[in-house]
Structure 1
Amino acid sequence: MTDPSKVERPKLSTELTEYLVSLSVALQRHAMYPNGHPSLAPAVDAVLRRANRLLEDRPSLAFGVARRQLIVEGVTTDPEHPVLRRLAEELHRHHLGAVSINRNVQAEELSEALRALASEPERAGSLLPDWPHVRLHPLTFDGLALVGDAPLAQGSGSGKGTLSAELWVGLARAAISADAATASDDVPLDPSEVAQSIDEHHGAEAYDQVIVGYMTQIARELRTSSGAETEALRRRASRLVKDLRPDTLKRILDMGGDIGQRVAFVLDSARGMMAEAALDVVKAAAAACGQTISHSLLRMLSKLAAHTDDVSATGAGQPMAGEGLRDQVGRLLSDWTLEDPNPENYRQLLQQFAIAARNAQRPAGERSFEGHDPVRVIQMSLESGVSGPVLDRAVDEAVALGQTAMVAALVQAPPSGAEAVTQAVLSRLVLPSNLVVLLTSEPLDIESLDALLPHMTPKGYEVVLDALASAETRTTRRKLLDRLAKAPCDLSAAVVTRLHDDRWYVQRNMLVLLERYGRVPENMSLAEWTSHPDPRLRSEAIRVQLTLPAERDTAIRTALWDTDPRTVRVGLGALGQGCAPELVSRVVEIAVSRVFDEEIRMTAVAVLGRLRDSAGLDALLHLADGGRTLFGRQRLTSKTPLLVGVIKSLAGGWPTEKRAAAILAAAAASSDTELIEAARPGRR
């Protein structure tokens, strides 16, 4: 059965990330440059190109706006991503709750919308305009207060208050945004009012995106934080879930459409919300996934949940008991196979419930590392030689906080006798979910990556492949490419699956890796790339073919007759000491033709010197022969780098041949030191 703690958190797809990044860049340029500046049109085109690609399989493209994050298809962006955070902050300054772009959007619409967003937000409260295919959805509430709490900071830009409070205010604003014309700014809104508004407004993708995004963030905040503010958020969020209609809750679980996102939300809710609310989330998730929970198990869990919530307010040990119950609920539901539960699970569930209740009586420091530095927890584990779930959580937390380098330093010089714990830490660090965090951080922590490479599994290397495909800078791509080329495992199959990426540089990098590996999966054909319209891909594909003995001759022929100089140069460089007559003829044609640039012709001349074919000799003599003087002496053609190359090839390939000797003698008798040096016998 799947361990819920190991379920990989959902992440935004590469295509959506690139779309948002291009939108952020375009918005920044519109803020920097006036209308008509040459930098604006390419930025708009980049957004339009990526948007149209995403709109091929959906009618519209919407994302919600939080203060530092964006929400797309139920997934929130990384608040530490500088480009995406800047976009979120700029849109939030305009009091926007969501942005949607519809199919058939035009460049003019995008440009006008970006220009409007690049201006300073209107203080008078006027709304931004709409366009036929671009919608900017505003949020207009600045005076929300919370029932049972002091009013929070006014406005969205104060920067005061905790994250828990910000999340609740953000959700409340998003929920009632459609009622902007009728709601009172100063009426306190309790969870029931928020739930009623969410129940009543559905069907608008942009609205749902924001709601789902805030619910996801709230669930995650409840799982990872503690304190009075978090406890207040737990009560509000739990009451909100209880007051939502079942079909609304199912809609929230449906929104992302991805099983990983649903599982992540369910597990966060099960660990963070009050027990009965967590069970409501579990039931909605089961419905969204087409699963059923046995009636007997559901009755038992409902009774336990009611017991937990009822006594949590009167017993100091009960919150920990509820935590143990919710953890077990998460385990039982993680793989959605609950139709015929084993009675043994019932016994284990009740036993863990009892253990959790006893555990709650212990001092807080013995229960968890919450509130402590995770790196310190890891260090203590290494010193004590003890590993387990607490260590695993500490490693995950350290990675999430950007402390991978500190953890890597600890395991590079571990205490004596800590080999087993060291291996446990390394195994946790190289989990794909942790590698994703490391590899998407900017700037790339290459030293930590290098420390982990010897311990990585093939799955880990596939994460590096994904990072190579999504890296925004050439420097980062080069670093990752160099390390992937030295991978100790066969990644050729994983590389081939990424060859169909729309971005040319991703395809090129995958071809470079195949060339360095010197192998391709069985029955794979490179024809699609050796005949690709992009010459950069053709040349790399031919380099791959050259590493395959069965395809080497085909690759050389294809390259020599290509129209791109780089590809022709690849073919010339692959020719050895001998080749078929038709290939010699092609090399001669390249050497003597003025269609090719001089550098390519010089390469062909050097190849003819190696081949020592009579046709090649005739071509070289033709290139060097400048006729005779009035006194019958041999003359050379005008000195060029090409002539110097011809003399070198003649001296290396035919030093004693009669016709060649006359040319070489003329070069040796000249006053040009470079020609004299090139004509030395045996010169190559």
Structure 2
Amino acid sequence: MAEEKSCLSLDTKLLSEAIIELNISRHNVSVYPENHPILKRSLNQAFSIFQKLFELRDEVMLAVAKDVIVVDGSTLDKKNPVFRDFASCLGKKNIAAVTFYRGMTEVEMFYFHQFLQKDIGNVSSECIQEVFDSQKLKHIKVSLIDYSVFTLSEKDTEAMEGPSLCELYVHGLLEGRLSAEDTSSMVQKISPRELAVFFNGLAPEEIAEENYTSVITTYVRKTSERRFSGAEMKKIMKFINNLRPELKQQFLSSTINTLSGEGDSLREALCDMGADEVVELLKLINEQMVKIPEALKNVLQKFSQLNNSAYEAVSYGNGIIEDDILFAPEITGLLNNTDFKSFVSDSYQDEIQRLLQQDVKDSNTQWLRAISLETAPEFIERAYSDTVISILRSEITGSIEAEDTEFLLQALKEQAAHFAGTGQYGQILKILDVMGSVSEDLKIQASVEMSDEYFYSPEFLNILISSFRFFGRTSREEVRLICERYGDNMIKPLMDVLADETSQTIRRFILSLITGFGEGAAHEALEKVRDERWFIKRNMLFILFECGNTDQLKKAFSHCSHENPKVAIEAVRCLLKAKDQRGISELRKQMRSSDREVCMKAITVAGTFQVREVVPDLIHMLRKKALTGDEYEDKIPAVRALGLIGDPGAIDELMSILGEKTFFYRASLDKLKSEVRTIMKNHFQERATVQGKRRDWASRWNIR
């Protein structure tokens, strides 16, 4: 079961919530005393989410690279301000990675936050490790960067921007430029944690298969005079335990194969390690499913041979002593099978049997589900927020002390960040509403204005928009109401996110939000359309088309000749919507383009806007003799455009297509004729009959 859990991937949403709540509780530790209700609630929220993660994994490791968090080799959202804040906090303590293990308690989480708040100063990683170890956090471990192990020559000092000297030695060993003899003295100076951090930062393809063994032999380099020791075994174990999962198995396998031939030296090393450390080694081998060579298996088997017959409990008085615990005679009597019925009656056993035979499927568990919902963390958070909102809306607000009001508003600010991170936009709307309708008492108004500054700050807007990217599409109406509440303040941040967004689905969603602002969005689009990147211009022209007024639309003319056809066609659409004659001229230019894709898009736009002025151009395209099957099919968009425009002057030309014949490209011509019949039936049949031009063409060409 443990092996199955270690293979499960973490839920990205659940992991994001855990980091967000962990960072919130970290800030609360620096603000509130240990027993404060807000701090307790914050720690409990973070602890609850970590318990859900521990159902998937026995440990959760967060690696740090500058202000970025890496989990299982994947980088979390680099633009998320919460992730960057937490990563920067760890980086200031020289923490390369922090690992949370199953069994962690809220108290340990609190002391971990206290450690992060300590002002340790500019000291070595060893000193920082000592401070951390003093916290006695059994289920939280950190990996530190120890810069003191690196030494530089005078020449190296002049180039401090380059990689460290130790990194150069290890790289040389991996690339085969340096031998084990050349690198052993330098590599052995690196602490196990630092060496693990270095390898965790490498891509898998940077480590060749033979390099795993060379690193192990170099790191614990032996000479003929010196035997392999237990200290070196512990050193290797510490190095492997700090590696990321996919590297653990490779290095552990190489270690086992390297050490299996040591014989007596290996047995002595295992004896030096102690029973607990040998058990830890065996546990690691089982978790990574590493095959044990026969020689090592024989050595390890000796550690499992215990003489059970020699065991005898130690008596003291009328009791016995087991594991330094004295058991009284009453307890030993209770555990005796002969006295079992004295303590467990037959009626009690019958009651237990009835409970076991009860079919719970027939029970009404609806009340139990209701209780589960009401005790869920999400329900409690919403209930707490609603209670604070009710207090601020009530008539007693004027009698509340300024300090208490500040506490309530601070609580709402924290709740808003939490709701944004979990996509609970309905609660955010409630908080924004109470800020707008709160009592006008002067004592309260100053605090409310300070809170309003936070809700309109770039920090909170970035948190909100980052949340839109993940959860917004499932709550479109609530997101629209939030955007409507913020008004034009939301336009520029949304456009900034749009410029960097790589997902087409999310871009469309953000565009739908921006176009909801009307002319305000068009004004901002005219400012940003000056950007040199073609896709930014295209998006801004699309926003201008959806939101702009006539004067704003006409300003798109300067982009009609853009080198990228996607930008040019958007500019033409703006001019056609504004009924600007220059748009028709530019449209004709694009219809005559030698680029087939540009020509087809221009024809489609002509039909969509029913531009009658281009009917002669479309008829000319139909009259052009087709020499290939593709040229027949290229006439289909022109036929559709003529149908949408509905000009009767095109009837005769369309009729002539029905009379065409070809020997080689019959399938392509049949597609064209089928489109003509559909257009004639839907757009021209009634008009031709009214004008007396039907001439029995409907029955002649099988148009019904």
TM-score, L = length of structure 1? 0.41
| Higher RCO (CA-CA < 8 Å; seq separation 6+) | 1
Q: Going by fraction, where is helix more abundant, 1 or 2?
A: 2
Q: Which has the larger radius of gyration?
A: 2
